[in-house]
């Protein structure tokens, strides 16, 4: 509640000084996200503790864990959404344009999916992926409608304004399909299958983003980014 209250006041001050946001992630948004993620993580830890105490309401506890894990994955993807913005998608190192979204979004899934499996089993991973897809479809429909309702018919989006479907496109659309394939033909305990999964389902490959990110980076830079991502994610897996 403290982060929500202060985040709202900070966001109002931010808009007063700098105008309308041109990217999703701003300092006030990060402040608010951080507070939400602390609550979500605390919920997971408390629910795990109660499960180990053989509490009677197992279904409620596991449902709390699933919704908290979904919220964590969603908030982390939103937190890294600026790396999908054509204006700030890359980091240049030694003249090489690297795509950091592969590492950050991939690392998020590579940590959260096995963690979900260790708590609620393989079905929990599939359920989490299904929840992600359902929330994407809901955001794809509901956000534009709500924005249009609040802004009114005379509102005009200026160049650089965040897209109303951005929240849905920040998430991995093919995650459920990929999870089902890994579950059928490999294992959630196989690091190479999981690393391949999180890279392949990355939102940077979406048709509406690929023109701005992998194609703009070029084949060489994209392959270098993927190669470095594989190395980094392998070490993340070892943690």
Model confidence over 203-214: pLDDT tens digits? 999 887 777 888
Q: What is the pLDDT of residues 138-170, one digit of tens each?
A: 888 887 777 777 776 766 665 555 566 777 888
Instruction: Name the DSSP letter for residue 25.
Output: -
Task: Give the pLDDT score at 30.
Answer: 75
Q: What H or E segment, with its residue span, contains residue 97? A: strand 96-98
Distance between CA 218 and CA 125 in Å, rounded?
A: 34
pTM: 0.85
Distance between CA 40 and CA 35 in Å, rounded?
A: 9
- Reading the block at residue 106, the tokens are 């991939």
- For the chain, domain boundaries: 2-238
**Residue scoring higher pLDDT (172 or 82):** 172
Distance between CA 171 and CA 183 in Å, rounded?
A: 20
Task: Give the pLDDT score at 158.
Answer: 59
Highest mean pLDDT among 28-32, 159-163, 225-229: 225-229
Q: 3-state class of 172 per DSSP?
A: coil
| pLDDT classification of 85: cutoffs 50, 70, 90 | confident
- The predicted model gives 116-123 an average pLDDT of 93
Task: Give the pLDDT score at 82.
Answer: 78
- The number of residues making up the chain comes to 239
Distance between CA 104 and CA 11 in Å, rounded?
A: 25
Q: What count of Cα atoms within 13 Å lies in the side-chain half-sphere of residue 124?
A: 21
The pLDDT mean for the chain works out to 85
- Reading the block at residue 118, the tokens are 């260790």
- Reading the block at residue 141, the tokens are 């429909």
Task: Give the pLDDT score at 157.
Answer: 62
**Residue scoring higher pLDDT (38 or 67):** 67
Query: Could you give the dihedral angle defined by the CA atoms of residues 101, 115, 125 and 209, in that order, rounded to the nearest 10 degrees?
Result: 0
Q: Residue 1: is its pLDDT beyond 80? A: no
Task: Give the pLDDT score at 227.
Answer: 97
The mean-pLDDT minimum among 75-89, 185-199, 212-226 falls in 75-89
* Cβ contact 110:236 at 8 Å: yes
Residue 199's Cα: distance from chain center in Å?
A: 13
Distance between CA 109 and CA 92 in Å, rounded?
A: 24
Tell how strand 91-93 and strand 96-98 pair up: antiparallel
Backbone angles phi, psi at 93, to 5 degrees: -130, 120
Task: Give the pLDDT score at 22.
Answer: 59
Distance between CA 238 and CA 44 in Å, rounded?
A: 22
| CA Rg value for the chain | 19
Residue 137's Cα: distance from chain center in Å?
A: 15
């Amino acid at each position: 509640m403290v982060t929500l209250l202060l985040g709202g006041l900070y966001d109002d001050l931010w808009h007063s000084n700098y105008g309308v946001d041109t990217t999703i992630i701003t300092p006030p948004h990060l402040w608010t996200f951080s507070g939400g993620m602390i609550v979500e993580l605390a919920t997971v830890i408390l629910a795990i503790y109660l499960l180990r105490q053989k509490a009677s309401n197992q279904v409620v506890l596991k449902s709390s864990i699933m919704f908290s894990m979904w919220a964590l994955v969603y908030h982390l993807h939103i937190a890294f959404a600026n790396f999908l913005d054509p204006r700030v998608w890359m980091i240049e190192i030694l003249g090489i344009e690297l795509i950091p979204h592969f590492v950050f979004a991939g690392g998020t899934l590579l940590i959260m999916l096995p963690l979900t499996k260790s708590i609620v089993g393989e079905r929990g991973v599939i359920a989490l992926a299904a929840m992600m897809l359902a929330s994407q479809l809901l955001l794809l429909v509901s956000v534009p409608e709500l924005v249009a309702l609040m802004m009114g018919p005379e509102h005009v989006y200026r160049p650089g304004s965040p897209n109303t479907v951005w929240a849905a496109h920040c998430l991995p659309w093919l995650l459920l399909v990929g999870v089902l394939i890994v579950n059928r033909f490999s294992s959630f305990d196989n690091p190479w299958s999981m690393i391949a999964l999180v890279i392949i389902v990355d939102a940077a490959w979406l048709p509406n983003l690929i023109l701005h990110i992998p194609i703009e980076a070029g084949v060489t830079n994209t392959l270098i980014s993927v190669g470095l991502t594989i190395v980094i994610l392998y070490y993340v897996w070892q943690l």
